Amino acid sequence: MMQERLQKYMARCGIASRRKCEELIVRGKVMINGVTVTELGAKVTLSTDVVSVDGADIYPEERKVYIALNKPTGYVTSVKDQFNRPTVIDLIELSERIYPIGRLDYDTSGLLLLTNDGEIYNKVIHPRGVINKAYIAVIKGILNEMKIKTFKNGVDIGGYVTAQADIKILKQFKDSTEVRITIHEGKNRQIRKMCDKIGNPVVELKRISVGKINLGDLKPGTWRNLTEEEVNYLKNL
């Protein structure tokens, strides 16, 4: 009989990423054939076992979904929010359960990828190589060569020194600057903290690409299915 690790089976059912599924298991939220399981090494016999999460039976998603969303500001990057704020899932009407790959802050807009494919999720979150993520930001004040050099070489954002990054001036206004920023890390509010560190706080921030996948002309709050080429790119990360 074919067996599969419980957390992998859950991810394949579209519950969450494999890591999040492991957290649900440890917290005692998962049952196999009516018995609560808290061990991460547990396996599911695919032909006979019934798995439930929070009392609801789960089954593998038959159709894999890969989506690019232009997340507006004012939405939380999660499936549910404890404070009942609108989430990115509210913007997408699908029968399949999907979840975000990574996150964008509440007050950050732009490209967000979502899927129900746990394997793709892990490839993007823990890639074998570097995945650059590009942003357009409006920051307060004026940049000089010293600030640009500091930003590019890495700054301490509170117990963590960022990796080398890139920042290019696009437009200069009287009291602010529009820049293109490229990083390959994903620390919480990283770009905002980096800009704070050099004395140029972020006013607006939008992500325009994740690796080879671009936001393009997607309007805020709208989404599209990834192309076959884009999905293959993610699968080969």
Which of 212, 225, 218 is CA-nearest to residue 71? Answer: 218
- Look up 49 and say whether it is catalytic: no
Which of 45, 49, 58 is CA-nearest to residue 10? Answer: 58
Token pair 């990283």 is found at 190
Q: Using CA atoms, how far apart are residues 155 and 141, in angstroms rounded to an integer?
A: 19
Q: Which of 49, 105, 166, 196 is catalytic?
A: 105
Tell me how many helices (H) and strands (E) the chain has.
6, 15
**Do residues 207 and 104 make contact, with C-beta atoms less than 8 angstroms apart?**
yes
Q: Using CA atoms, how far apart are residues 65 and 118, in angstroms rounded to an integer?
A: 11
Active site residues: 105
